[in-house]
Amino acid sequence: MQYYMLDEQKAMDYVTETGLFSKKNNLSCREIGDGNLNLVFIIKDDVTEKSMVLKQALPYVRVVGESWPLSVNRTRIEANALEVQNKLVPGLVPKLYHRNDDMALIIMEDLSHLSLMRYGMVQMKKFPKFSDHISTFLANMLFYTSDLYVDSEAKKHLVQKFVNPELCKITEDLIFTDPYYDAERNNINPALRIYLEETFWKKEALWLEVSKLKYKFLTEAQSLLHGDLHTGSIFANANETRVFDTEFAFVGPSAFDVGKIIGNLLINYISWSGKDMNPTDIKDYRVYLLDTVNDLYQQFEQKFKNNWDRDLRDISAKVTGYQEFYMRNIFVDAVGYAGAVMIRRMHGLAHNIDVDGIEDLEKRKSVQILILELAETLIINRANFNTIEDITMLVRNRIY
Amino acid sequence: MQYYMLDEQKAMDYVTETGLFSKKNNLSCREIGDGNLNLVFIIKDDVTEKSMVLKQALPYVRVVGESWPLSVNRTRIEANALEVQNKLVPGLVPKLYHRNDDMALIIMEDLSHLSLMRYGMVQMKKFPKFSDHISTFLANMLFYTSDLYVDSEAKKHLVQKFVNPELCKITEDLIFTDPYYDAERNNINPALRIYLEETFWKKEALWLEVSKLKYKFLTEAQSLLHGDLHTGSIFANANETRVFDTEFAFVGPSAFDVGKIIGNLLINYISWSGKDMNPTDIKDYRVYLLDTVNDLYQQFEQKFKNNWDRDLRDISAKVTGYQEFYMRNIFVDAVGYAGAVMIRRMHGLAHNIDVDGIEDLEKRKSVQILILELAETLIINRANFNTIEDITMLVRNRIY
């Protein structure tokens, strides 16, 4: 089948062809994507109320002022990853109903009854099931796609299937490279520039440690990652949590997914320092956030070890001390990756509404510096922390 | 083209079809392979004296008492690797004249004027150009196929192209797993068994460190490796050195190739302790061997750094301290891999003639224990050595 771009009418026609809806007459369709990377249609049977999401990749990315071609191969990656996730963490990702790699489209579960976690968090919404759900997501995905569980040859085919050059390149550049010098693609708060020029970009020791983390991102084919696990890739409400947008999936260092989500929670934690809100509310929300970080990591670790005890296959991993070595590696690197993603959201290309919602640029700058300096501490000292509570205690002691 | 197995006549017919020889009438052909893994034909024009080697993969491996199917995909890997090597280290590998992936065959330069280095070394032959040549092989292959030089996306395609599940699995099992317990495939000198049972297989700290080295072998996609770089994969004489049999090629930890060749030189060094030779000759050859190890590593490091200074592309690797981090990683892991390959040749499936040439099983046992214990020291203490001379000094002080 030849690729063609859908519009609302064509999307309805396409869906009817698939047989996923019984009657065409009752369908309605709405395009809700931002149009930069993908088209996203919600298609609904107005009689039965049944609805689905159709996502189609566009063959380019539009970024500020330039055209950036991007192969639609990312839809194949996303569909492949959704298939694995639906086996290993059913109920924590959208169900996949249909894929068409030629058309670069997938049809999946409509999750519009949930809200984007990032938007909830800038409104101090709490997600009481989040740490339980995400720790399961991480423990299952990262254990059951690693050499601990997957047969040696199947693992190599997993690596091969998820080779994802274009999207990995984005991460390599935007997270691990551009923020450490005056790169053209950086998106810099003018009030922050002087700090970057006079202080941040002179931190060679920091850049060195980030380059070591980049080395692992480039080379360490440990587990199948989501690859972009931040609060903007999660739909949630009080009871449900769903991870989506998994087009960055590839086999990489397990710690990257863990660190990315933690870093994004810490960004939100610090962002309140720049906002005029009731201090009691801030304090309460911050307690919730650090509890969430602690819970998330502790539960992840416990569930991962439970998987290990139940399902470990590699005889080499049974030797005394190996589990400690393995878990320690993930912890140390996760702390480092948390720092790296905090930094990239301050003055790299893509920001967070958590901080960019602070309209006063001086106030925003102060928050950005707080975040940059905390991130630096995490990265430089990552091998000196022992538990996640060392991290949350440090954050609480420094910013409250 | 459908795969069919060649014999001498069919090999000549095939070669004639390729046009590599002008006249069919003058050809002669001889099969010289051991028939376990591959057929190897030398085809010669008896008038012009021009000759070539045709290697065809068999769709199985014969090991003691069982049939072990193995896909002929390894010829595709070998041909792909030969193409890369002929670009990066021309003159140090056989020239590739022709490949046919369907027929699982390659036609390449005839190197029968050279001798197998392993056989030369058990006769105390010296190879004065070896350390210069192999250090160039390692420095060029390991630098120019790494993220230091290769563009991010091309690197991912390199990884994908060289996914080599079956051959990697052999290394994972035979080097990193089987020797550490009483595995069925082990090939054990009966006189050594009691040492293994009462001592060696109880060394949990050693197995742990070997499992960490296995982890890197499983996950660290750093450079395109030869994958089986021992003295039985090298043809040489006083002036020439050619690395062949590169069917184990994959993108893995750079240190593996470096460590494997060093480990094999150290096996030869210790093997003389079990042989009745003139002590002066042994001493002289041992001085040569340790000089070779020092030269090989020091030249490798210098040439790798020269490549780095001339051709580094990744901006992240330019930060102060990164080169030291990178080279240190290779050194420490190479020491560990040297130890691991020494151990596997003592009581794993595949042995070396260097030690198995000692016919008295008690004497062989003594040498095997010397090697196992030196290897253990290397592996356990690998992070405590600073330079290759620390290693060679240790060897000289312990065994002379």
Angstrom distance (rounded) from CA B56 to CA B38: 6
Contact in structure between A118 and A231 (CB atoms under 8 Å):
yes
Joined tokens for residue B79? 């041909």
Selection from B278, B279, B263 nearest residue B395 by Cα? B263
Identify the pLDDT of residue B37. 79
**How far, CA to CA in Å, does A329 sit from each of A122, A213, A255, A307?**
32, 12, 8, 17
Identify the pLDDT of residue B168. 97
Among A58-72, B126-140, B211-225, the range scoring the smallest mean pLDDT is A58-72
Nearest-neighbour CA in chain B from A166: distance (Å)? 7
More confident residue, B60 or A230: A230
Q: Grade residue A35 by pLDDT with cuts at 50, 70 and 90.
A: low
Nearest-neighbour CA in chain A from B330: distance (Å)? 13
**CB-CB neighbors (< 8 A) of A316 in chain B:** 176-177, 180, 207, 210-211, 214
Identify the pLDDT of residue A69. 63
Quick check: B247 pLDDT over 60? yes
Identify the pLDDT of residue B67. 55
Quick check: B22 pLDDT over 60? yes
Percent of chain B predicted with pLDDT > 90: 91
- Average pLDDT over every residue of B324-344: 98
The size of the A-B interface in CB pairs under 8 A is 108
Q: Grade residue A67 by pLDDT with cuts at 50, 70 and 90.
A: low
Beta-bridge partners for A96: A108
Question: Residues of A316-355 as b/e, b for ≥16 C-beta within 10 angstroms?
Answer: bbebeebbeebbebbbbbbbbbbbbbbbbbbbbbebbbbb
Identify the pLDDT of residue A66. 47
Nearest-neighbour CA in chain B from A376: distance (Å)? 16
A223 to chain B: nearest residue by CA? B219
Contact in structure between A257 and A146 (CB atoms under 8 Å):
no
Identify the pLDDT of residue B65. 39
Q: Grade residue B351 by pLDDT with cuts at 50, 70 and 90.
A: very high
Quick check: A265 pLDDT over 80? yes
Task: Give the model confidence (pLDDT) of A183-202 as tens digits.
Answer: 999 999 999 999 999 999 99
More confident residue, B281 or B67: B281
Identify the pLDDT of residue B66. 47
Angle at B378 between CA B372 and CA B382, to 5 degrees: 155
- The torsion angles phi and psi of A255, rounded to 5 degrees, stand at -60, -20
Task: Give the model confidence (pLDDT) of A370-385 as tens digits.
Answer: 999 999 999 999 999 9
- Average pLDDT over every residue of A337-346: 98
CB contact under 8 A, B207 and A163: no
Quick check: B62 pLDDT over 70? no
Quick check: B25 pLDDT over 90? no
Nearest-neighbour CA in chain A from B211: distance (Å)? 6
| Number of helices (H), then strands (E), in chain A | 14, 12
Q: State the DSSP string of B90-156.
A: TTSSPPEEEEETTTTEEEEE--TTSEEHHHHHHTT---TTHHHHHHHHHHHHHHHTSTTTS-HHHHH
**What sign does the dihedral A336-A341-A347-A348 (CA atoms) show?**
positive
**CB-CB neighbors (< 8 A) of A180 in chain B:** 316, 319
CB contact under 8 A, A317 and B211: yes
Contact in structure between A290 and B178 (CB atoms under 8 Å):
no
**CB-CB neighbors (< 8 A) of B160 in chain A:** 160, 163
* Residue B39: CB atoms within 10 Å: 21
Among A63-72, B37-46, B138-147, the range scoring the smallest mean pLDDT is A63-72
Quick check: B175 pLDDT over 70? yes
CB contact under 8 A, A219 and B147: yes
Q: Please, is A32 exposed, middle or buried when counting C-beta atoms within 10 Å of its C-beta (0-12, 13-18, 19+)? A: exposed
Q: Grade residue A30 by pLDDT with cuts at 50, 70 and 90.
A: very high
- Average pLDDT over every residue of B194-205: 98
Mean of the per-residue pLDDT values of chain B: 95
Location of structure tokens 């014999």: B7
Joined tokens for residue B262? 């060093």
Identify the pLDDT of residue B68. 58
Identify the pLDDT of residue A131. 98
Contact in structure between B283 and B388 (CB atoms under 8 Å):
no
Amino acid at residue number B283: K
CB contact under 8 A, B325 and A212: yes
Contact in structure between A223 and A251 (CB atoms under 8 Å):
yes
Nearest-neighbour CA in chain B from A113: distance (Å)? 38
Please report, in range form, the residues annotated as the binding site of B for substrate: 228, 344
CB contact under 8 A, B157 and A176: no
- The torsion angles phi and psi of A218, rounded to 5 degrees, stand at -70, -35
Largest Cα–Cα separation, chain A:
64
**What sign does the dihedral B183-B184-B188-B194 (CA atoms) show?**
positive
Amino acid at residue number B35: G
Quick check: B315 pLDDT over 70? yes
Q: Grade residue A230 by pLDDT with cuts at 50, 70 and 90.
A: very high
Angstrom distance (rounded) from CA B105 to CA B15: 11
User: Domains, chain B, ranges and CATH?
Assistant: 8-109 (3.30.200.20), 115-398 (3.90.1200.10)
Location of structure tokens 């948390």: A338
SS3 A35: coil
CB contact under 8 A, B147 and A177: no
Identify the pLDDT of residue B1. 80
**CB-CB neighbors (< 8 A) of B219 in chain A:** 147, 219-222
Identify the pLDDT of residue A65. 39
